[in-house]
Amino acid sequence: MKSIPPRERLIFALDVPDATEARRLVEKLDDSVVFYKLGLELMMAGGYYELLDWMVARDKKIFVDLKFFDIPATVAAAVRRLNGRGVTFTTVHGNQGIMEAAVAAATDVGILAVTVLTSLDRGDLDDLGFQCDVQQLVLSRARRALAAGCRGVVSSGIEAEAIRRELGERLMVVTPGIRPVENRVEDDQKRVLTVERAFEAGADYIVIGRPIRDAADPRVAAEAIQSSILATCGKA
């Protein structure tokens, strides 16, 4: 496995209503979480860049997950706004031209290409007009991401194994939809894996939100996941 500090392999999805709540939760989690994902909900709440800068000043690693999807010039302009801000990863969700424009615009930000959202299953792909199975679509997008020069992909752990078989270690694999326990009925994630299984399948990082955020003690929940990562990944 890549030489990534084990505690950095957990990316916590900071999906909360506003920046005030985000700061409160970051302070509560303290050193149990190093890496955070900042998504659309916080962007629309206001104070996104101020929060990002506040977290970087506290030595947190940041994954800006806004899934840029627009004409290539607009995506490139958006990516350039992230250069020099201490952002580790950001996401694009588009065709070859969009991915190439994002990669060309990035100086110190790793571009991750979204393959297939973990909230989608075969029926959802039918609704969207994709006449292939999920794994075929994920592999097609991963090949294109590699050709475009992306740092990695966002993929369910279910397809991570296939990506590793076909592309080896040439792409980072960031895996959302991780559930430390059996998936709940009300959960909107459909293609999920446990922490251990995701890393065994080839994930480099895992993204976890609600199992930490909604725990009685988020820090205890995060430390339990960190222990599972250490046991699975060792001292990589």
Q: How far is CA 72 from CA 35, 65, 114, 137, in A?
A: 28, 17, 16, 22
Q: Is 67 a catalytic residue?
A: yes
CATH number of the domain that residue 84 is part of: 3.20.20.70
- Closest CA relative to residue 232, chosen from 3, 2, 6: 6
Using CA atoms, how far apart are residues 108 and 224, in angstroms rounded to an integer? 32
- Give residue 10's domain range: 6-233
pLDDT in tens, 108-125: 999 999 986 555 455 554
> How many structural domains does the chain have?
1
- Closest CA relative to residue 162, chosen from 195, 137, 193: 137
Q: Once rounded to an integer, what is the mean pLDDT over residues 29-47?
A: 97
Residue 33 in domain: yes
User: Which pLDDT score, from 0 to 100, does residue 123 have?
Assistant: 56
Residue 54 in domain: yes
Residue 150 in domain: yes
Which of the pair, 136 or 45, is modelled with greater confidence? 45
Pick the catalytic residue from 28, 37, 67, 190: 67
Using CA atoms, how far apart are residues 48 and 142, in angstroms rounded to an integer? 29
pTM of the entire predicted model: 0.89
Residue 1 in domain: no
Residue 182 in domain: yes
